[in-house]
A and B are shown apart, each in its own frame.
Chain A
Amino acid sequence: MPDALPASATRKVPAGTLYRGREGMWSWVAHRVTGVAIFFFLLVHVLDTSLVRISPEAYNDVIATYKNPIMGLGEAGLVAAIVFHAYNGIRIILVDFWSKGPKYQRVMLWVVMGLFVVTMAGFLPRHLMHVFGGE
């Protein structure tokens, strides 16, 4: 029996798995990095929102800094991180629960990138217009 093993089962170097190397891995790294970044943003964000309990002036002063161009670019980056994490998160869920998910995981990563570009193309011009005062 053992000598009848197909060649693929005796190959020394493992073929790419869902996670190791290639797209499956960098999308996983990007999912981690964006998840942590959003988490730290959220800690600060709840603190800045809590200023509404101190006084209207305190809140308005801090929020005013969110409207300068540098913070405006930071918000764009944050939204990009969320949009990627969210769409890729749905892809992970489909890989896990949809019977054909593992087969299409690669295709779905391209769908994620496509939807990402479309969403950002809708969001960025409008946001930058608000921040840089066009209209």
Chain B
Amino acid sequence: MTTIADPKAPRPPKPRPARLTTRGNTELYGWVFMRASGVVLLVLIFGHLFVNLVAGEGVTAIDFGFVAGKWASPFWQVWDLLMLWLAMIHGTNGVRTIINDYAERDGVRLALKSALYLAFVLVVVLGTLVIFTFDPCPSGSPADLLPSFCTA
């Protein structure tokens, strides 16, 4: 019969892992962030989908003038900016976890994560610039494509 050691018995010292997988509490902060951002994203994305797909004429109403009308208000600018950043950080962190789970070869993992981080930077920078440099009344465009306040 095998005997199980008394739990209070001193344990043999564990060999230290050659490489620590994380330094400090980064994974814990990531775990908390996934949950906190999830709650905020639920409100932001449901609001986004309601205004763009359900209210009024739904998708059929979306065009340049629709976007210009929304981004004329700092409220929707901030809304979209928060949604962009939170969704991209949440999604990138989630996909990073999945790459860690399935890509076992070091080279493959490095390649996939590099592509992931590159996509993150490009999309966040592009999306942020688009919100802040948006011009609702570009000169030389036909007036019927522009929001009504351009001619007023």
Seen from chain A, the residues whose Cβ lies within 8 Å of a Cβ on chain B are: 1-3, 32, 35-36, 38-39, 42-43, 46-47, 49-50, 52-53, 55-57, 59-60, 63, 66-67, 72, 75, 79, 82, 86, 89-90, 92-93, 96-97, 123, 126-127, 129-131
Contacts and interface: CB of A to CB of B under 8 A. Distances in A.
Given A2-B4, A52-B68, A67-B60, 19 more contacts: A1-B6, A36-B98, A38-B87, A39-B95, A46-B127, A53-B133, A56-B63, A56-B64, A56-B142, A57-B141, A59-B64, A60-B64, A75-B53, A93-B39, A123-B53, A127-B54, A129-B58, A130-B57, A131-B60
A57 B145 contact: yes
Contacts, number: 115
Contacts of A55: 138, 141
B35 A93 contact: yes
A66 B123 CA distance: 21
**Taking chain B's interface residues, is the majority helix, strand, or loop, or is none over half, making it mixed?**
helix
Nearest to B94: A35
Interface residues of B, number: 47
